């Protein structure tokens, strides 16, 4: 039977309780400051952000939880947030925090892109966070990150089978007919080893770096979509993006690699 | 329906056929070898060889028609490990005798209510992924790296310099001739129908992944029936489905289980069975584990290399199947045979 008077033990218990509450409050107040995203800890990402504090809602990064083949991980980035009426997403940057070289790609979008959604396949060296940063035309910034668990290293390719000719066989799937104001998906693929410059060949020598650096899509001569690619894009780069042409004409797709060679594909499009 | 969805549905259909057939006919390489060596009854063995012959002829017909390129399959590895493949096969074969059937058989038995197979499958899946990408992966990769052998060819036709369709025709015919040379086999529709149906499912798998799964931008990986990695993948899928996509292998595994369950219920052959005691449970656990590790080293199991791999005439398939038979022999009549108790 407990006595009615407060005992020495009760006083000690109250003191302990007060300290605990204070500690939890301190952690709670400190948490916003610690809830910075992984983009604050990556130099390359901070360079893109500058001093801006990005919004963490709106940008969506879709990656598998676990990937057994780090050489080709399907990635898709999209935006479902709010923007001002005359604003649009003009740039999306992708980073792999633990790859030898963190920049994956930078995509430049225009009003002719229509929808800020891009899909590709990337190389991830090991389990890590993938970061996406979107910048709007008026300077709004959005960021998000996803962790991917990788069970096989991606940057050191393992196959020795016949490699197709670099920049050969461009495949483009673009609708021939567009409705104005209705962006449609375009898919592109082209053969290229995307040599990272880190891989040892059969003879024991490092295979030199050889990648596609730039992919440009122009509609009737005006640049609609542009991608700067780095070595963390998987071999035979696959890109899905949106186009929303305003008038009929010609779409030109061009790939340029770091040895000065390029490939080109043209398609006629109709806007009705 | 996208091409990936088409592949998944085809895989489910193929799995359902496999499971139902396996349940109704008792198709099993382990049983076939055991019966041949201990009872002199080789009907089940002929059933497996029939499946092999049908798979070979069907798959090579697809290849000859230019529909699939079997040299792109996993089995046609031009630089395999001369140690891991036959050794893995032997581990798998021995494990198969401990577990009373291979991975595919365990799925069928589970569908019939045999809870012992749940233990086998769980150990198989765990061990397979331990060897593929887990705690045993580094030693496995090291071993394979130390024992790599650059083969002069991917497969048998390339090695002997003959056209694939001719080699398939000769080999397939020879196997068929042997299979049907026994009157007791000919008069056992349970066995030759089982072998025939299961055999047809192999080229069906190549067709599903290689033709239905073809896409310029996101091709599905060429594969046919195999039950090592897919069983491990299925365990993973059950746990991570919100972050991974269904593939061919996992869909086949699901189909086999459901198909076997449906057939067991239809035939009123569903009975819950468990272990007699701890020793039997240990045997099943060991069997499943050896199958998982051996299967990964050998690039496939009794179905994966024995049927799918052999249908491509890949050189690794011959080595793996030889290893499996040796391992099984050790466990059935050889020095490592454990008494049934």
Is residue A154 predicted with pLDDT exceeding 70? no
Q: What pLDDT score was predicted for residue B320?
A: 97
- Positive or negative, the Cα torsion across A187, A191, A193, A194? negative
Q: pTM, whole model, 2 decimals? A: 0.86
Residues 121-160 of A with CB under 8 A from B: 151-152, 160
Q: pLDDT tens digits for A92-117?
A: 999 999 999 999 999 999 999 989 99
Tokens of A223: 């640049």
Q: pLDDT tens digits for A186-238?
A: 999 999 999 999 888 777 889 999 999 999 999 999 999 999 999 999 999 99
| H or E segment and range at residue B103 | helix B103-111
Q: Which of A160, A171, A173 faces B79 most closely, judged by CB atoms?
A: A160
Interface of B with A (CB under 8 A): 78-79, 132-133, 137, 216-218, 236, 240, 242-245
Is residue A3 predicted with pLDDT exceeding 60? no
Q: What is the mean pLDDT of residues A57-61?
A: 94
Q: What pLDDT score was predicted for residue B341?
A: 42
Closest CA to B271 of B23, B17, B15: B23
Residue B25: φ, ψ to 5°: -105, -15
Cα-trace Rg, chain B: 19
Whether residue B208 contacts residue B66, with contact meaning beta carbons closer than 8 Å, is answered with no
DSSP assignment of B142-175, as one string? Answer: HHHHHTB---S-SBHHHHHT--HHHHHHHHHHHH
Q: What pLDDT score was predicted for residue B37?
A: 95
Question: For every residue of B270-307, which 3-state class applies, written as one string?
Answer: CCCECCCCHHHHHHHHHHHHHHHHHHHHCCCCCCHHHH
Is B133 in Cβ contact with A65 (below 8 Å)? no
DSSP assignment of B312-328, as one string? Answer: TTBHHHHHHHHHHHHHH
From chain B, the residues in CB contact with A187 under 8 A are 217
Is residue A61 predicted with pLDDT exceeding 90? yes
How far apart are alpha carbons A71 and A257 in whole angstroms? 20
Whether residue A98 contacts residue A77, with contact meaning beta carbons closer than 8 Å, is answered with no
Is B236 in Cβ contact with A151 (below 8 Å)? no
Mean pLDDT, chain B cut into blocks of 10 residues (341 residues total) = 94 98 96 96 96 97 96 89 96 97 97 97 96 91 91 91 95 97 94 97 98 91 95 93 89 98 97 96 97 96 97 96 97 81 42
Q: What pLDDT score was predicted for residue A162?
A: 60
In order of A61, A224, A229, B280, B286, the CA distances from A76 in angstroms are 6, 19, 15, 49, 42
- Which parts of chain A fold into alpha helices (H)? 8-34, 43-49
User: Given its phi and psi angles, is residue B49 left (phi above 0), alpha (psi -120 to 50 degrees) or beta?
Assistant: alpha
How far apart are alpha carbons B165 and B56 in whole angstroms? 10
Give which of A64, A65, A164 to mutate to test B binding, by max B Cβ within 10 Å: A65
Residue A7: φ, ψ to 5°: -95, 175
Whether residue A55 contacts residue A144, with contact meaning beta carbons closer than 8 Å, is answered with no
Is residue A172 predicted with pLDDT exceeding 50? yes
Whether residue B246 contacts residue B3, with contact meaning beta carbons closer than 8 Å, is answered with no
How far apart are alpha carbons A58 and B328 in whole angstroms? 58
| Of A23-32, A146-155, A158-167, B189-198, highest mean pLDDT | B189-198
Instruction: Count how many residues are written for chain B.
Output: 341
% of chain A surpassing 90 pLDDT:
59
CA distance A148 to chain B (A): 10
How far apart are alpha carbons B188 and A76 in whole angstroms? 55
Instruction: Respond yes or no on whether ipTM tops 0.85.
Output: no
Q: What pLDDT score was predicted for residue B133?
A: 87
Using DSSP, state whether A38 is helix, strand or coil.
Answer: helix
Closest CA to B43 of B174, B168, B256, B193: B193
Q: What pLDDT score was predicted for residue A2?
A: 55
Q: What pLDDT score was predicted for residue A232?
A: 95
pLDDT tier, A33 (very low <50, low <70, confident <90, very high otherwise): very low
């Amino acid at each position: 039977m407990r006595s009615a008077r407060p005992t020495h033990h009760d006083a000690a218990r109250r003191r302990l309780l007060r300290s605990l509450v204070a500690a939890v409050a301190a952690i709670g107040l400190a948490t916003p400051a610690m809830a910075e995203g992984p983009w604050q800890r990556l130099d390359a990402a901070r360079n893109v952000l500058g001093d801006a504090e990005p919004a963490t809602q709106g940008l969506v990064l879709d990656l598998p939880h676990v990937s057994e083949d780090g050489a080709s991980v399907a990635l898709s980035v999209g935006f479902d947030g709010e923007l001002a009426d005359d604003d649009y997403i003009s740039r999306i940057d992708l980073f792999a925090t633990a790859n030898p070289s963190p920049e994956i790609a930078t995509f430049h979008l225009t009003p002719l892109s229509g929808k800020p959604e891009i899909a590709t396949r990337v190389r991830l060296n090991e389990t890590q966070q993938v970061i996406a940063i979107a910048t709007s035309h008026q300077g709004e910034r959005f960021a998000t990150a996803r962790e991917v668990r990788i069970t096989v290293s991606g940057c050191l390719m393992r196959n020795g089978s016949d490699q197709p000719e670099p920049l050969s066989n461009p495949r483009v799937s673009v609708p021939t007919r567009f409705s104005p104001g209705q962006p449609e998906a375009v898919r592109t693929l082209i053969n290229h080893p995307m040599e990272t410059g880190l891989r040892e060949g059969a003879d024991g020598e490092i295979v030199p770096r050889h990648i596609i650096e730039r992919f440009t899509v122009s509609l009737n001569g005006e640049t609609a979509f542009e991608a700067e690619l780095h070595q963390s894009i998987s071999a035979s780069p696959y890109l899905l993006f949106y186009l929303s042409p305003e008038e009929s004409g010609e779409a030109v797709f061009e790939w340029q690699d770091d040895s000065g060679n390029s490939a080109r594909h043209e398609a006629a499009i109709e806007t009705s | 329906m996208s091409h990936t969805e088409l592949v998944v549905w085809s895989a489910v259909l193929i799995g359902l056929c496999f499971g139902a057939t396996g349940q109704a006919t008792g198709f099993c390489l382990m049983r076939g070898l055991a019966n041949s060596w201990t009872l002199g009854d080789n009907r089940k063995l002929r059933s497996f060889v029939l499946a092999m012959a049908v798979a070979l002829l069907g798959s090579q017909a697809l290849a000859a028609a230019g529909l699939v390129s079997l040299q792109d399959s996993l089995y046609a590895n031009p630089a395999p490990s001369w140690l891991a493949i036959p050794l893995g096969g032997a581990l798998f074969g021995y494990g198969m005798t401990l577990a009373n059937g291979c991975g595919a058989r365990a799925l069928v038995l589970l569908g019939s209510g045999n809870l012992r197979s749940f233990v086998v499958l769980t150990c198989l899946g765990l061990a397979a992924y331990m060897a593929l990408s887990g705690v045993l992966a580094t030693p496995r990769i090291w071993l394979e790296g130390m024992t790599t052998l650059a083969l002069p060819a991917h497969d048998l036709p390339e090695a002997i310099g003959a056209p694939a369709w001719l080699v398939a025709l000769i080999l397939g015919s020879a196997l068929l001739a042997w299979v049907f040379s026994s009157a007791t086999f000919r008069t056992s529709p349970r066995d030759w129908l089982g072998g025939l149906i299961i055999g047809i499912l192999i080229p069906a798998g190549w067709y599903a992944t290689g033709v239905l799964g073809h896409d310029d931008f996101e091709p599905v990986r060429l594969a046919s029936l195999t039950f090592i990695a897919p069983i491990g993948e299925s365990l993973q899928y059950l746990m991570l489905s919100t972050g991974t996509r269904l593939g061919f292998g996992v869909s086949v595994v699901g189909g086999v289980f459901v198909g076997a369950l449906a057939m067991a219920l239809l035939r009123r052959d569903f009975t819950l069975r468990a272990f007699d005691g701890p020793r039997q449970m240990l045997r099943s656990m060991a069997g499943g584990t050896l199958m998982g590790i051996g299967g990964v080293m050998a690039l496939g199991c009794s179905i994966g290399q024995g049927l799918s791999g052999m249908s491509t005439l890949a050189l690794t398939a011959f080595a793996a199947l030889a290893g499996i038979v040796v391992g099984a022999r050790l466990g059935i009549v050889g020095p490592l045979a454990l008494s049934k108790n």
